[in-house]
Amino acid sequence: MNFNNKMKDTKGNTLKGGGIVFKEENNKIYILMVYRANHNDWSFPKGHIEPGENIKETVIREILEECGIEAEIIKELLPNKYFNTKSNEETICHMFLLKPKTFNIKPENKRDKVEWVLLNQVREKITYNNLKIYFDKIIKKII
C-alpha cells in the first residue's frame, strides 16, 4: 500500500482497522497477538484502510494477512485513539471483537510471531502504554 495515501477522517486523523480475536479452550480465554519484528512490538492485528474497503473488510483482511487465519466479527468495540509517535499522526483505530473461523496461525513475515495469549497475560505482553490503557477499557466487553 502507498502510505502517503492513508485514509483520513474530516479532522485529519489517520484511520485504521483492527481486531481482538478470542477463542475459548479448556475453560480459558485466549487472545490472538502479533509481534512485528520491524517495529519490535506486541499488538493486536491492525492496519490501514485500503481504497475501496470498508472498515470491517480492512479488519478481516489484516487478520488474514498478519495472522494467517479467517475470523468473524462479533461486535464493534470502542475505537482506540492515540498519537502515533513514529508517523507523527493522530490515529483512530476502529476495533472489533472477533472469533476465529480457521485456527492455523501463521505470521505474515518470517521474523514476526503470532501467538494465542491467555487473557490474564495479554496486558503484560502489550508493548505500548496507550494500548494497555485501551485494553483496560475494553476488557470487560471481552469476558
CA 94, 99, 133, 66 torsion: positive or negative?
Answer: negative
Per-residue model confidence (pLDDT) at position 90: 92
Task: Enter the CATH code of domain 3-142.
Answer: 3.90.79.10
Tell me the C-alpha distance between 9 and 101, whole Å.
31
- Average pLDDT by stretches of 10, the chain with 143 residues: 68 94 96 96 96 95 98 97 87 97 96 97 96 94 74
Tell me the C-alpha distance between 125 and 117, whole Å.
9
Per-residue model confidence (pLDDT) at position 1: 38
Per-residue model confidence (pLDDT) at position 7: 87
113: β partners: 35
Per-residue model confidence (pLDDT) at position 36: 95
User: DSSP labels for 34-95?
Assistant: EEETTTTEEE--EEEPPTT--HHHHHHHHHHHHHS--EEEEEE---EEEEETTTTEEEEEEE
Tell me the C-alpha distance between 36 and 54, whole Å.
24
